[in-house]
Amino acid sequence: MRPVVIVNVAMSADGKLSTRERRQVKISGKDDFSRVDRLKAGCDAVMVGIGTVLADDPSLTIKSPDLKKERLDSGRPEHPVRVVIDSRARTPPGASILHKGDGQRVIAVSARADPGRVEALRTTATVIVAGEDEVDLCRVMDELGKMGIRRLVAEGGGTLIAGLVRAGLVDELYTYVGSIVIGGKDAPTPADGPGWTKETEFARLALAEVTRIDDGVLLHWTIKTA
């Protein structure tokens, strides 16, 4: 059984995830940070694309001591499984995601990944090989489901989110819209890649909730199935 997939993303008022040099930007504030920590703590796995690992070096660990304790008290690991989508096994061996906080790591690569790099990653992570060229996200979700992952939050970036939407894997989407303008036609947006051209291909959303948080607004969407 594939996990329920929730996408969480923060964008500026003009729809950008970071600067055009892909430099991480503080888009939300303390309350939204706590919300995202809670969302992650309620999931079995947190997923990012290799672009985000290379740009931001996130650890994706749970930060709140109370949430960590809650997870441990309920028999779950302190942190969710951390998953990287990385066709060519480019995750640096010293990446924070591989070392910060206890718990399992999964790197999903494709058949074109260099075998030496894959072996090196196997010392710190479980490696899933899925897809010939890019990672086959449906197969990854099947494998994660077999590992017992029922609920997963994908934190971006825009290329991974577009891939998840294209594969029809997204169930819910949280878009935080912050009170800054980043600008730049080349700055990442929540669904990058080639995009879609036919209206029939566009994902259709239903607005579930709108909440004011910090100096911005959180939009909670569900994906309409055809």
| 8 A C-beta contact, residue 57 and residue 21 | no
State the minimum distance, in angstroms, from the CB of residue 69 to ligand NAP.
Answer: 26
Residue 27 vs 98, nearer CB to ligand NAP: 27
State the minimum distance, in angstroms, from the CB of residue 67 to ligand NAP.
Answer: 19
Candidates 118-126, 142-150, 152-160, 201-209: pick the segment binding ligand NAP (CB under 6 A): 152-160
Residue 27 vs 65, nearer CB to ligand NAP: 27
45 is a contact residue toward ligand NAP (CB under 6 A): no
Neighbours of 14 (CB within 10 A): 13
Candidates 38-46, 86-94, 114-122, 200-208: pick the segment binding ligand NAP (CB under 6 A): 86-94
Q: Give how far the C-alpha of residue 117 lies from the chain's centroid of Cα atoms, to the nearest Å.
A: 22
Q: Which two tokens stand for residue 131?
A: 């897809």
DSSP labels for 56-116? H--------HHHHHHHHHTT--SSPEEEEE-TT----TT-HHHHSSSS-EEEEE-TTS-HH
Q: Pick from 132, 193, 130: which is nearest to 165 by CA? A: 193
Candidates 69-77, 114-122, 133-141, 198-206: pick the segment binding ligand NAP (CB under 6 A): 133-141
10 is a contact residue toward ligand NAP (CB under 6 A): yes
Question: Per this entry, what is the length of the chain?
Answer: 226
Helix 30-41 vs helix 65-73: angle between axes, to the nearest 10 degrees? 10
27 is a contact residue toward ligand NAP (CB under 6 A): yes
Rule CB under 6 A: which residues touch ligand NAP? 9-10, 17-18, 22, 24, 27, 48-52, 55-56, 85-88, 90, 134-135, 137, 155-160, 163, 188, 192
